[in-house]
C-alpha cells in the first residue's frame, strides 16, 4: 500500500496563489496580495499545472483567463480553502485585514457605492475594498473579482456561490428643464416623445420602453450612441436630449433640479409613467465570509438609493 507521505499533494501556498491569480486577473496583483514576488506566484501555479498535467491559465498579452481545467479546478480550490478557513482554531490567526475585489458598472459605483463608503468602513473595518469597473460590450469576461454587480442578469460562466437582488428600480424619461421648455412643456403621452430628441444607449433601448407603454416607437437613429449610463445622464443634464433613467442613479440631478420628468403626472396624481422595472443583482464568487457580509450591506445601500430616487422624483413630479 502506498503511504500518504508518498502521494503528491499541492501545497496550501500553491492553492492560494492560484485562487488569488484567478480572482485578481494577474500574477502581479496576486503577488501583491500574498506579499511575494510575481515569479514566486508563477512557480507555485506551475507546480499545480505539473501535478494536474494541464494548464490552468491561458497566458496572453491581456489579463489572465482560466482554461476549462482552470475553471473546474478553481471551484474545488475555493471550496477547499473555504473549509480550511472555517476551522475554528484557524480563525484566531486569521483576524487580519481582508481584501475584497468588487467589479461594478461605472455609474452604479459612482452614484450608489461611493457615497456610502464611509458607512462600509464602519461596518467592515477589517476589509480593504478594491473597486474595478466593468465595461459593457467591450470585454467578454470582465475583470476577475470576488463580487460582481450587474444590471438584470447574474454573471454567466465561472463558479458562483450566491446571487441576490440588490434593488428594483423604475425606468422613465427625464430631461433638462431647458429642453422641456423648448418642447413646449412636459409631454402629455409617451407617444409625444417620438418628436423629441432622444438620447441613445444600448444599455437602455427606447424601443423596448415604448413597447412596454403601448407605443410602436422605433429605436432612434440620430445623435451620438453612448455606451455608459453616466455619459447619457450628463448629456441629458446638458440639454442634449431625453434620457431613459433610473431615479436611483439620477437622484442627485433630480434633487438639484437639473433633470425633471419629461412626462406629465398621471390623472390620479401618481408618478409619471415608469416602466418596466429594472433590477441590479450581485453575484458572490468568493468563499470568504466577508464577501457575503458585504453583499448584504450593499443590498441595503442600494435599496436606500432606490427609495431616495423615488422621493426625489416625487418632489419633481
Tell me which residue has cell 413646449. Answer: 184
Question: What pLDDT sits at residue 8?
Answer: 64
C-alpha cell of residue 33? 496580495
Tens of pLDDT, residues 282-299: 888 888 888 989 999 999
Taking CA atoms, 218 is separated from 135, 205, 222, in Å, by 26, 10, 12
- How is domain 10-96 classified at the CATH fold level? Arc Repressor Mutant, subunit A (1.10.10)
Closest Cα to residue 172, out of 44, 261, 76? 261
pTM of the model: 0.68
* 119/80 Cα distance (integer angstroms): 32
Tell me which residue has cell 486577473. Answer: 25
Tens of pLDDT, residues 74-95: 988 888 887 776 665 555 544 5
Tens of pLDDT, residues 52-71: 889 999 876 566 788 989 98
Tell me which residue has cell 438609493. Answer: 305
| Domain edges within the chain | 10-96, 99-317
* 140/144 Cα distance (integer angstroms): 12
Question: In the structure, what pLDDT confidence band is assigned to residue 116 with cuts at 50, 70 and 90?
Answer: very high
Tens of pLDDT, residues 218-246: 888 888 888 888 999 999 999 999 999 98
* 268/109 Cα distance (integer angstroms): 35
Question: What pLDDT sits at residue 285?
Answer: 84
Question: What pLDDT sits at residue 3?
Answer: 44
Tens of pLDDT, residues 124-181: 998 889 998 887 655 545 567 888 898 765 544 445 567 888 888 888 899 999 999 9
Is the Cα torsion angle 257, 263, 267, 273 positive or negative in sign? negative
Closest Cα to residue 309, out of 244, 228, 254, 229? 254
Within this chain, domains 10-96 and 99-317 share the same CATH topology: no
Kindly report the CATH number that applies to the domain delimited by 99-317: 3.40.190.290
| Residue 55 near residue 25, CB atoms below 8 Å | no
Amino acid at each position: 500500500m502506498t503511504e500518504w507521505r508518498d502521494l503528491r499533494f499541492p501545497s496550501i501556498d500553491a492553492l492560494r496563489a492560484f485562487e488569488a491569480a484567478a480572482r485578481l486577473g494577474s500574477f502581479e496583483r496576486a503577488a501583491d496580495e500574498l506579499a511575494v514576488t510575481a515569479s514566486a506566484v508563477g512557480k507555485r501555479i506551475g507546480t499545480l499545472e505539473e501535478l494536474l498535467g494541464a494548464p490552468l491559465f491561458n497566458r496572453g498579452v491581456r489579463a489572465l483567463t482560466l482554461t476549462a481545467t482552470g475553471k473546474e479546478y478553481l471551484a474545488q480550490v475555493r471550496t477547499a480553502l473555504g473549509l480550511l478557513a472555517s476551522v475554528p482554531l484557524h480563525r484566531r490567526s486569521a483576524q487580519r485585514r481582508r481584501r475584497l475585489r468588487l467589479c461594478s458598472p461605472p455609474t452604479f459605483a459612482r452614484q450608489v457605492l461611493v457615497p456610502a463608503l464611509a458607512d462600509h468602513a464602519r461596518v467592515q473595518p477589517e476589509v480593504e475594498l478594491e473597486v474595478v469597473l466593468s465595461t459593457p460590450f467591450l470585454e467578454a469576461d470582465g475583470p476577475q473579482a470576488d463580487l460582481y454587480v450587474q444590471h438584470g442578469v447574474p454573471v454567466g460562466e465561472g463558479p458562483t456561490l450566491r446571487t441576490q437582488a440588490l434593488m428594483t428600480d423604475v425606468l422613465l424619461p427625464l430631461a433638462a428643464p431647458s429642453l422641456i421648455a423648448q418642447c413646449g412643456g412636459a409631454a402629455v403621452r409617451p407617444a409625444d416623445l417620438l418628436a423629441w430628441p432622444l438620447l441613445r444607449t444600448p444599455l437602455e433601448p427606447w424601443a423596448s420602453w415604448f413597447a412596454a407603454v403601448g407605443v410602436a416607437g422605433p429605436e432612434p437613429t440620430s445623435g451620438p450612441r453612448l455606451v455608459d449610463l453616466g455619459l447619457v445622464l450628463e448629456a441629458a443634464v446638458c440639454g442634449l436630449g431625453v434620457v431613459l433613467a433610473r431615479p436611483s442613479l439620477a437622484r442627485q440631478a433630480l434633487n438639484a433640479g437639473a433633470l425633471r420628468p419629461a412626462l406629465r403626472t398621471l390623472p390620479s396624481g401618481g408618478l409619471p409613467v415608469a416602466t418596466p422595472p429594472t433590477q441590479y443583482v450581485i453575484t458572490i464568487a468568493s468563499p470568504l465570509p466577508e464577501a457575503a457580509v458585504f453583499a448584504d450591506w450593499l443590498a441595503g445601500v442600494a435599496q436606500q438609493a432606490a427609495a431616495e430616487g423615488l422621493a426625489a422624483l416625487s418632489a419633481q413630479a
